[in-house]
Amino acid sequence: MHIPACQGLSFHPKLSWILASLHNGTIQLWDYRIGSLIDKFEEHEGGPVRGICFHLSQPLFVSGGDDYKIKVWNYKLRRCIFTLLGHLDYIRTVEFHDEYPWILSASDDQTIRIWNWQSRSCIAVLTGHNHYVMCAHFHPKEDLVVSASLDQTVRVWDTSGLRDKTVAIGSSMGGMGAPGKGANDVFGTSDAVVKYVLEGHDRGVNWASFHPTLPLIVSGADDRLIKLWRMNDTKAWEVDTLRGHFNNVSCVMFHPKKELILSNSEDRTIRVWDVTKRTGIHTFRRENDRFWIITAHRSSNLIAVGHDAGMVVFKLDCERPLAQCHGHSLFVVQDREVQVVDLDKGLKGVQLGSCRRAANAMTSGLKSLQFNTYNPTETNVLVFYTQDGGCYDLFVGASNITADTNISPKQGNAQADSCLQQLLLALVADGIGGICMYLHMYECICVSNIST
């Protein structure tokens, strides 16, 4: 979607909508399913709108801009319903709490503020950073906030005291905040206190995020590094550093459903990292545009990124399993297993063998499955991967497979996956060994190092 530079993004939790806050001060509402602009909101004045967030259950969204204003909008009424004032500099991020009637904001005035959007008042000011606060986020389950600042630190704040003081017990969505809790009486109290200060980056930190289920934090900074942190009840410490970006890391987050870290950067790349192995597994590049923001849908397999020329909404991997039908048999990859399903007898499959990697296109590079229709005397199934420059597993079995088998696949490297039927013929004709090349319709596949 080609729009002005995109600074903030937020998926609607249920509808196929995404909000984009832009460098020109406009907020746009898109239907990403059909690629259509639904509405736009232009009440912010004086520069970019950087922060944007849909409410989880109400027809609301919140925005924060360079005009120092936080605005709460009703998208059904198509207008701003009120404005929150208090910040003294640009607002970087805004966020609704999932349960309490709270809004969290981070600002270049070096503070983080928590607001009650029902009473329309500031209920806490978190001070301690000594440079711009680039982002702040609520923990998905606990009474914690994480913030990142150009003072080179990540801070974790305990908000349990604020919850006890302002959220009515047993109230739905937090209920109304306790009366009288405004900005005038939050200084000098311990309603929200810093719990950990994480030091390790050598330059300003642009982003920090909690893991959705584990006690982990990820951060990205102008030192071009991504750092992984672990915390417990008493301390937090650095676990590892991920290297690969070659310019400022703009944004970094844990994938909500997979053990992946997603990051983007001013180096014009989006990178995907394996949380367990702590290694990079994929890189997406854009020729001319720096990336500024990345977000993931809460429940579907969707990612959105904002860059200098707009935004992109995409899926990390294919939601349909690799499969090919031949006659009354369906060959399909489920997890790591290649299965054969007799469509006349039912949907329960028998195992042919195991692939080298699980069927996740992002981590395995699994790309296609082909059945050799030219060999009636046996079963030939080829599973192709894009990893390592192109490689494959070739399963060779009896022509009629009716019970579970565990065929060890023949493995090798291939420079392309076109003309796979011809590749299967060439492999079979060559005796599954050595080096072979098959030319067909001016297309070439080179196969080498085939293990037996």
Report d(CA 367, CA 359) in Å as an integer: 9
Same domain, 182 and 148: yes
Structural domain boundaries enclosing 431: 323-451
Number of helices and strands in the chain (H, E): 3, 37
The Cα–Cα gap between 428 and 432 comes to 6
Together in a domain, 305 and 348 = no
Count CB atoms within 10 A of the CB of residue 37: 12
The pLDDT of residue 422 is above 60: no
Cα-trace Rg, the chain:
26
Given 291, 314, 337, which residue is the final one in a domain?
314
- Give percent of the chain with pLDDT exceeding 70: 82
- Which residue, chain included where needed, has tokens 């991920």? 242
The verdict on residue 343 lying in a domain is: yes
- Check residue 111 and report its DSSP letter: E
Helix H or strand E encompassing 160 = helix 160-166
Q: Are residues 373 and 289 in the same domain?
A: no
For residue 170, the model assigns a pLDDT of: 44
Tell me what percent of the residues of the chain surpass a pLDDT of 90.
59
Mean pLDDT for all residues in the chain = 84
Residue 294 pLDDT exceeds 60 = yes
148-157, 302-311, 358-367 — which is least confidently predicted?
A: 358-367
Mean pLDDT of 362-383: 76
Same domain assignment for residues 258 and 292 = yes
Q: Which letter, b or e, does each residue of 153-187 get, where b requires 16 or more Cβ atoms within 10 Å of its Cβ? A: bbbbbbbeebbebbbeeeeebbeebeeebeeeebe
pLDDT class of 435 with cuts at 50, 70, 90: very low
For residue 177, name the pLDDT band (cuts at 50, 70, 90): very low
Residues 248 and 349 in one domain: no
For 201-222, how does the pLDDT look when each residue is reduced to its tens digit (9 = 90+)? 999 999 999 999 999 999 999 9
Quick one: pLDDT band at residue 76, thresholds 50, 70, 90?
Answer: very high
Chosen domain end from 279, 314, 349: 314
Tokens read off for 180: 């009288």
Q: Are residues 136 and 196 in the same domain?
A: yes
Q: 314, 332, 353 — which closes off a domain? A: 314
Instruction: Kindly state the average pLDDT of the residues 222-236.
Output: 97
More confident call, 253 vs 165: 253
Whether 264 and 356 map to the same domain: the answer is no
Same domain, 276 and 385: no
Q: Please give the average per-residue pLDDT across 94-118, as a whole number.
A: 98
Query: What is the tally of structural domains in the chain?
Result: 2
- The answer as to whether 1 is a domain residue is no
Q: Are residues 308 and 367 in the same domain?
A: no
Q: What are phi and psi of 53, to 5 degrees?
A: -160, 130
Residue 300 lies in a domain: yes
Do residues 310 and 329 both lie within one domain?
A: no
Nearest to 381 by CA among 348, 345, 343, 350: 350
pTM for this one? Answer: 0.75
Residue 191 lies in a domain: yes
The answer on 400 and 301 residing in a single domain is: no
CATH of the domain at 52: 2.130.10.10
Residues 232 and 296 in one domain: yes
Residue 92 lies in a domain: yes
Q: Give the pLDDT of residue 442.
A: 28
pLDDT at 412: 79
Q: Could you tell me if residue 356 is inside a domain?
A: yes
